[in-house]
Amino acid sequence: MYALEEFDGQLYIVTEFVDGHTLAMRWPAGAIDRGIVSTGRELAAALASAHAKGITHRDLKPENVMRMRDGRLKILDFGLARVETGDGGPGTVTAAAAPGALAGTPAYMAPEQIEGRAAGPPTDVFAFGVLMYEWITGVHPFQAPRPWPRSRA
């Protein structure tokens, strides 16, 4: 995000235009893509870079990963990110990312997120594993055969 501005009483956000396609747009269910391994490596490297800077994304999912037309991979939407301070302080979080707040996409959330506990790099690693499993197999790893709660009929 470059800016949050107001014009004629309307708020608007200025963001980067990213020309390309998200992983969600790229993979039809169950389709094996030749780029899975290289994309997985690039995504892991991008997450490692963010984590090295103290940033936890907290909402990694196929819709938030984009392959740009020039071939580069980009992680999008850091709106729920948690940023740790370098001085050991509590860090900066968005209001929704505060401990105890449930924020993220449930299908990709790590157990600590679902329980409302503080998220860190392992949270993104969990989501990365779910995302890659789903891409490789075409099935979400926690997909239930029918909606919950299951009836006891």
- Asked if residues 69 and 53 have their Cβ atoms less than 8 Å apart, the reply is no
Is 77 annotated in the active site?
Answer: no
What are residue 73's DSSP bridge partners?
67
**Residue whose C-alpha is closest to residue 126's, from 60, 52, 50:** 60
Cis peptide before 111 (omega within 30 of 0): no
Distance CA 135, CA 96 (A): 28
Options 8, 19, 33, 59, the catalytic residue = 59
The phi-psi region of residue 113 (left if phi > 0; otherwise alpha if psi is between -120 and 50; otherwise beta) is alpha
Distance CA 120, CA 55 (A): 8
Catalytic residues: 59
